[in-house]
Amino acid sequence: MSKKIDLLIDADIHPVLNTKRIQHFLPEPWRTRLADGNRGPGGLGYWNPNGVMRKDAVIADGTRIESSAEHLAQHFLDAYQIDYGVLNPSNSLSIGTSPELDYAAALLAATNDVIVHDWLPVDTRLRASLLVSPGDPLLAAKEIHRLGDHPGLVQILMPSASRIAYGNRFFYPIYEAAVAHQLPIAIHPGAEGSGMSAPPTAVGYPSNYFEWHTGLVGGYIAHLISLIAEGVFVRFPSLKFVLIEGGVSWLPAILWRLDKNWKALRMTMPWLDRLPSDIIREHVLLTTQPLEEPEHPGHLTAIFEMFAVSQMLMFSSDFPHWDSDMPDFAGRVFPAAVRPRIMGQTASELYGLGALHD
């Protein structure tokens, strides 16, 4: 190296700072937030201070209950006398929004294999969703044809996060395959804003987890309207759609908007020859968690009188996620007349699950 004679400036060097030092200068609640890491779901990493997982879903030796079929059967299904439970693996949803289409399809197929090999054989009460990535509908259809006749796989599961509403014809190959194997399609939140999904709301990105989580209903409403507007259930008359974890009480308002607008605008959708609410009652189901909890319980009872609860609503715990509803909680809030259907009969019919106790 020659002797230094000229001025030398490097305008871009990357040190690594000690996170603890940054925490030292950070006020609360941001200090706790940084220490906690990015524990929100999806690719955006919003902070849920409760964590995604229930802290009490642990047995005495420290094992988490959801970590194996055996523990899940003993410490959750047994504990709550659950006859059948549908497994929807955590972490599978944000894979479904990956722009790496071939990797996403392969990874979900391998995840399905784990469910089929390691989980379903363990306990006769376990069933599971068949995971697909909707980003490549043809690869998704291929996976449905590969495993769609497995008796333990009772529905197709896709993320509710999407850049295209699910009524769009882009997804028809998935629906054709689902119908061929007589499987409902279910959607589940958690990946909104991750991968190549659209921003989580119609007006962009939420600023925290509270805003993100509370607003998840927006995508569900848009998917439901899209499924009707595009005539998916006219083209696939045996298809059922399950809206998991998207909320319940918003449904009547949307049914009324759909019916009112259909009356005025039906000529633009010649394929729709009856009220949207009639189509939805026959084709769409919702799961209960997280159930709204109004200050006055009678308000929820009133909501339950505004749509076909006994046909459309199915109990779900979301166990072991932070805001899960245990069966004893849920049993209390449903009117007695429709409780047996919500807690099991409707799902029994949808998924072909017979009573065990005859």
> Considering only residues 22-81, where is the footprint of a copy of itself by CB under 8 A?
29, 32-33, 47-50
To the nearest whole angstrom, how small is the minimum distance from the Cβ of residue 310 to a copy of itself? 17
For residue 166, give the nearest of 101, 109, 239 by alpha carbon: 239
> Where in 219-258 is the site for a copy of itself (CB under 8 A)?
219, 221-223, 225-226, 228-230, 247-250, 252-254, 256-258
In which element (H, E) is residue 18 found? Answer: none
Count CB-CB contacts under 10 A for residue 265: 11
329 binds a copy of itself (CB under 8 A): no
Query: Residue from 42, 137, 167, 173 that binds a copy of itself (CB under 8 A)?
Result: 167
Q: Which is nearer to a copy of itself, 40 or 344 (CB)?
A: 40
Stretch that binds a copy of itself, among 54-62, 90-98, 162-170, 336-344 (CB under 8 A): 162-170
In which element (H, E) is residue 154 found? Answer: strand 153-159
210 binds a copy of itself (CB under 8 A): yes
Binding residues with a copy of itself: total (CB under 8 A): 78
Q: What is the identity of the amino acid at 135? A: G
> Where in 116-145 is the site for a copy of itself (CB under 8 A)?
none
Q: Which is nearer to a copy of itself, 119 or 307 (CB)?
A: 307
Q: In the β-sheet with 185-188, what is the strand arrangement from edge to edge?
A: 85-87, 126-131, 153-159, 185-188, 241-243, 284-287, 313-314
312 binds a copy of itself (CB under 8 A): no
Report d(CA 148, CA 84) in Å as an integer.
Answer: 19
274 binds a copy of itself (CB under 8 A): no
Q: Which is nearer to a copy of itself, 85 or 320 (CB)?
A: 320
Report d(CA 77, CA 125) in Å as an integer.
Answer: 8
Q: How many residues does the chain have?
A: 358
Radius of gyration of the chain (CA): 23
Name residue 201's beta-bridge partners. Answer: 204
CB 333 within 8 A of CB 291: yes
Query: Residue from 87, 217, 286, 314 that binds a copy of itself (CB under 8 A)?
Result: 217
Q: Which is nearer to a copy of itself, 145 or 263 (CB)?
A: 263
Query: Residue from 78, 102, 273, 323 that binds a copy of itself (CB under 8 A)?
Result: 323
CA 220 to chain centre: 10
To the nearest whole angstrom, how small is the minimum distance from the Cβ of residue 301 to a copy of itself? 10
Report d(CA 273, CA 234) in Å as an integer.
Answer: 9
Stretch that binds a copy of itself, among 12-20, 63-71, 100-108, 210-218 (CB under 8 A): 210-218
Query: Residue from 78, 99, 273, 299 that binds a copy of itself (CB under 8 A)?
Result: 299
To the nearest whole angstrom, how small is the minimum distance from the Cβ of residue 161 to a copy of itself? 8
The DSSP code sequence of 63-105 is -BGGGSHHHHIIIIITTTT-S-EEE--TTHHHHTT-S-HHHHH
Stretch that binds a copy of itself, among 86-94, 118-126, 294-302, 341-349 (CB under 8 A): 294-302
